[in-house]
Amino acid sequence: MAARKPTAKPAAAPKKAPGPSRDAESRGHADELHQQAGGSHPPLTTNQGIPVSDNQNSLRDTPRGPTLLEDFILREKITHFDHERIPERIVHARGSAAHGYFELTKSLSRYTTAKLFTEVGKKTPVFTRFSTVAGGAGSVDTPRDVRGFAVKFYTSEGNFDLVGNNIPVFFIQDAMKFPDLIHSVKMEPDRGFPQAASAHDTFWDFISLTPESIHMIMWAMSDRAIPRSLRMIEGFGIHSFRLLDAEGNSTFVKFHWRPKLGLQSTVWDEAVKLAGADPDFHRRDLFEAIQAGAFPEWEFGVQLFTEEDAAKFPFDHLDSTKLIPEELVPLQIIGRMVLDRWPDNFFAETEQVAYCPANIVPGIDFSNDPLLQGRLFSYLDTQLIRLGGPNFHQIPVNAPQCPFANHQRDGHMQMQRPKGRVAYDPSSLEGDSPRETSRGFRSHATPADDGAKGRIRAESFADHYSQARLFYRSQSAPEQAHIASAIVFELSKVETAPIRERVVGHLRHVDADLAQRVADGLGMAALPPAAPARVEPIDMKPSPALQIIGKMKPTLQGRTVGLLVHDGSDAGLVKALRKAAEADGAMVKIVAPKIGGAKLDDGKQLAADGQLAGTPSIVFDAVAVLLSPDAGKQLAKDSAAVDFVANAWAHLKAIAWDEGAQPLLKAGNVGRDAGVVEAEDAKAFVAAARTRQWDREKKLRMLA
């Protein structure tokens, strides 16, 4: 920067007169640009409030000469830009979030003093962030992965953070193992890949040597890990928590979220292709639904049980690799959550939000689950580095929405201006300094267990396979096939044969048929030996509540239908199908070879929402192909159009067709079944589009 005066003057750059004329020239240029953009705008200033006259050009010595160090406007702008990134979350880096509210519909006042759970009808503001776990902040939305489901309740008694996942169990029993688990699933440290994927040696090496993870593996290999939409996932607090009444009596509680739209997943091939077709598929889906006023909603449920109930369970509820079947302790719905507002700013809110399982309000308390106990430390610690100091609770998205005051002072990025002399307690100098209150948080007086201090895993945590078996055997036939195929897919990416064998050795304890299917899928000559098991697994009563297909709602609510049209398409059919799909709750989008749309047979131009090559059928739940005979013949030779129908067929979606579409369907090898319907019959199309055609799968895919 700013070397004084170039010696050689370029011939083509005549020197202008110094003074205001130069500024006036660039001002004129800026005015031209701004006139095109329109609007009335406040003055642009620096961070010090100094008005800026030229935001297009840095300060130069001569028109083609060096830039001057003096240009404080340029320096401030670039310096701020250089510091725009903060460390991304080590896990759950990729996330999407929205504001909304929680409304209590049934009081838990018998069990807790927490106002959040006792004031029926009251709406508590929430900020909810969904995330994938393994990938970085810029990774795609649809890998096979667990989804984070974190809710910050801004209650009148302080913030309560329910930092959960979309799966009710976890991989490990002890926080001590978390860094190992995460290091194993993240990209391998020497090569820097794979990104956002568990299908590699280090992850399965760790799993094969960690039998407690096998139950969670069943879930992670199920279709729960490839959701269709964030609006269609369940959420779980996982650990047991305690509810405390006014006398301090405790009841254990597990927290559940249930999507109003029902559970729904993609099929694996679709999830893989979605990663390319739309890396932001889930974020966009959530954004579009909220912008359209179709607010995502969840029921909030609790499972309540006592210490005595827990003593009778054939597992230890303090072990995070175990769930409590709903058939054993029924779920009571006590409220609902609606997400109705997209954040104003992604960084300020979605990126800077800091959840912490230790954020808890009076009337709720922790259990001794060793995973939860470790989490109580980790989150505040990680926020200190991620958000740069101890005052991140003052960032608006993190700040309580009730009054809060204490004697903590100073530190990086202190935004408050506490008044007065008193920053300690007890004190007598000021009558209004904050003091402890009888309404304050109290811990449950949990009696200590018998036994000695030590690095000990309780014997009640030793059964690693019974619930993995329970989960697998509770699934429908297509879901079992998907689990087996997912394990085969993942292990096929594992280069080290003994790792593959060790995993199958665990599966032998889960289900003999599953182990055989996976061994066959991997081309193993014989079943490897069963893994050593400390405890013989037991057969638990199957729990249909663990299925996805069983909990899927046949509905078009929240789903999207794509209509592929071209010049000459039947305008009447387009109109009728759109009307029928929208009446059933779907969002309808028009796809055409050109974004300008198509001229239909009524002579009118219909604008397209997506261009065919960039809007594959993968992004829709069902499609209709409505073409004139000429267009049908033309598109049968176009690979994007052929893929459009072939993928809709392969992903078990309903397809409506008319006569003109026949050549295209033929080129895409689309077969015939109950989901492939004539477009004339809008009712039949809507009925087929409400679900996936599971029977079709056997015809077109080799599953394990």
Give the residue numbers of the binding site for heme.
Answer: 89, 129, 178, 375, 379, 386
Spatial separation of the C-alpha atoms in residues 515 and 528, rounded to whole Å: 9
Q: Do 644 and 625 touch, CB atoms closer than 8 A?
A: yes
Task: Please state the closest distance from residue 125 (CB atom) to ligand HDE, in A.
Answer: 17
CA 313 to each of CA 254, 324, 448, 663, 682: distance values in angstroms, whole numbers, following the listed order: 15, 8, 20, 60, 51
Task: Please state the closest distance from residue 489 (CB atom) to ligand HDE, in A.
Answer: 25
Catalytic residue among 165, 166, 359, 391: 165
Q: Do 653 and 628 touch, CB atoms closer than 8 A?
A: no
Nearest one of 424, 374, 376 to 161, comparing CA atoms: 376
Beta bridge partners of 337: 102, 298
Task: Please state the closest distance from residue 178 (CB atom) to ligand HDE, in A.
Answer: 4
Which residue, 150 or 577, has its beta carbon nearer to ligand HDE?
150
Spatial separation of the C-alpha atoms in residues 248 and 227, rounded to whole Å: 40
| Amino acid at residue number 156 | S
* Token representation of residue 528: 């490897």
Spell out the alpha helix ranges (H) of 345-474.
370-386, 466-474
Task: Please state the closest distance from residue 235 (CB atom) to ligand HDE, in A.
Answer: 9
Residue numbers of the site for ligand HDE (CB under 6 A)? Answer: 89-92, 95, 129, 131, 148, 150, 163-165, 170, 175, 178, 238, 320, 353-355, 371, 374-375, 378-379, 382-383
Which residue, 366 or 644, has its beta carbon nearer to ligand HDE?
366
Helix axes 201-208, 497-510, angle to 10 degrees: 40
Which residue, 175 or 233, has its beta carbon nearer to ligand HDE?
175
Task: Please state the closest distance from residue 516 (CB atom) to ligand HDE, in A.
Answer: 32
What is the total residue count of the chain?
Answer: 704
Task: Please state the closest distance from residue 216 (CB atom) to ligand HDE, in A.
Answer: 10
Q: Which residues are annotated as a binding site?
A: 89, 129, 178, 375, 379, 386
Whether 165 is catalytic is yes
Whether 92 is catalytic is yes
Which residue, 72 or 377, has its beta carbon nearer to ligand HDE?
377
Q: Output phi, psi for 236, to 5 deg.
A: -140, 140
Q: Output phi, psi for 257, to 5 deg.
A: -115, 140
Taking the CA atoms of residue 429, residue 435, residue 438 and residue 439 in that order, the dihedral angle to the nearest 10 degrees is 140
Nearest one of 696, 631, 588 to 269, comparing CA atoms: 696
- The number of helices, as runs of H, and strands, as runs of E, in the chain is 19, 18
Which residues, including other chains, have CB under 8 Å from residue 79's CB and lie 6 or more apart?
none
Which residue, 154 or 620, has its beta carbon nearer to ligand HDE?
154
SS3 call for 177: helix
Which residue, 131 or 543, has its beta carbon nearer to ligand HDE?
131
* Active site residues per annotation: 92, 165
